Amino acid sequence: MSLWTAAEIAAATDGRASADFAVEGVAFDSREVGPNDLFVALTGETTDGHRFLDGAFAQGAAGALVSRAGKHPSVEVSDTFTALEDLGRAARARTSAKVIGVTGSVGKTSTKEALFAALDRSPSVSAHRSVKSYNNHTGVPLSLARMPRESDYAVLEMGMNHPGELAHLTTLVRPHVALVTAIAPAHTEFFPHEAAIADAKGEIFGGLEPGGVAIVPYDSPHRDRLIAAAEPHASRIVTFGLDRAADVHALEMARASHGGTFVTARVGAHELSLTVSQPGAHWVSNALAVLAAVDAVGGDLALAGLALAELGGLAGRGARIEIAAGDGTALLIDESYNANPASVAATLAVLGDQPGRHVAVLGEMRELGDKGADYHAGLAPAVLAARVEAAVLVGEAMSALAQALEGQVDFVHVPDAATALEQARRLIAPGDAVLVKGSNGVGLSRVVAGLVGPMPGGKS
């Protein structure tokens, strides 16, 4: 059965179909259009998706959502962004899937991926998820519109950088379970204090379906604030964390031989032992959140444990790659997608547990407002605790950390990713463990790509 027919799209969006067609997917980026997709021609201040219609159909699009008629099979609407939201609402209205909404300052994409893997582990179950980090005002309705009719579960990531954004997104997702991973300084340029971030994340609970479950991080200093936000909307509130007072908690933890963590967890009335493949205490917390959500939707906890043991690192979010280094190799930990003070500290702790010399390529953290210098300087204890012996600091905002590390760590401070790559190539030696971490806008994914590719005088 197709994902959408032209008639269904027209009915959902109050549009007019120019032809009869059926689609198997939805995309608003013409570069991502595949065979039999619906291309949504979004218009914005700097671009107009209608300019890319020919390219989208050349790549195999079966139809388009447009705001002005053209030569291609399409559904014409008055506004394509509003129509995309309407299509997302229609997808949510027709599904019988259990829907889980995930947000948080850190860990939401990793937790979303782990939760999807846990629910999709059974061959008799069909799970759907947001891809990449499609978690904003366009990504959430797109992820909904892509949801197959027959899905049993859907895991939707929701992000924000201003108050009120999640309040709207959660009305589209209408989750049966709403999960907040953690609260940390992020986008502080737009918030007066961290408690305001917690309030904005707590907006997710306002969209809970009747009988819904709120899942809250017990170890967070904002736990009670999140619980208060959930109480008017949730039939049940479940806490997770390392503290044994949490509803879902770790009874025992031990480092596994491969660098992950062996955990015995209490999940309500259940006790289970599992291995969390990804290293670090933050991943134990993510795993406990996953178990809480799986239990909340009646999923199989044993299969969830197997999925967590098999979970690989995500590109930009913990992928571990062996790279050429001189006449040998080094371990690269790719955390290049994003950064805030909490996530940088967590990943530095992972670096500190690795054998060999520790090298850190750290990009500046963005959207931290007038406290940015303090947050950057505040990374120094984590750098020292990780026993970093050589560092490349990238971006103007890293000046504060450079001053804090002066005389304690060998480092170079560079303006951009291209220079960082040059310096990293000079620094890295066989046997090193190398962390690359920074805000996405710094472009450290290019450093990762350069280090993974052929190195002068080394192996490919």
Binding residues for ATP: 104-110
CA angle 131, 134, 139 (to 5 degrees): 120
**Nearest by Cα to 282 from 217, 214, 222:** 217
- How many residues does the structure list for the chain? 460
CA dist 319 and 312 (Å) reads: 7
Structure tokens at 378: 């505040």
Element (H, E) at 275: strand 270-276
Q: Which residues participate in the annotated binding site?
A: 104-110
105 touches 179 (CB < 8 A)? no
Q: Distance between terminal CA atoms of the chain?
A: 44
Tell me the sheet residues that pair with 317: 314
CA dist 413 and 393 (Å) reads: 5
Alpha helices in 37-150 (DSSP H): 53-58, 80-94, 108-119, 139-145
From residue 171, alpha-carbon distances to 89, 113, 203 in Å are: 9, 22, 10
Structure tokens at 430: 């066989």
In 280-293, which positions are buried (b, 16+ CB within 10 angstroms) versus exposed (e)?
bebbbbbbbbbbbb
**Nearest by Cα to 379 from 438, 318, 445:** 438
**Nearest by Cα to 153 from 184, 197, 122:** 122
173 touches 147 (CB < 8 A)? no
Query: Tokens 């020919």 sit at which residue?
Result: 54
Single-letter code of the amino acid located at 270: H
Cite the beta strand spans of 176-245 per DSSP E: 177-180, 213-217, 236-241
Q: List CB contacts of 407: < 8 A, sequence separation 6 or more.
A: none
294 touches 120 (CB < 8 A)? no
Query: Tokens 């971006």 sit at which residue?
Result: 395
Angle between helices 80-94 and 165-173 (to 10 degrees): 50
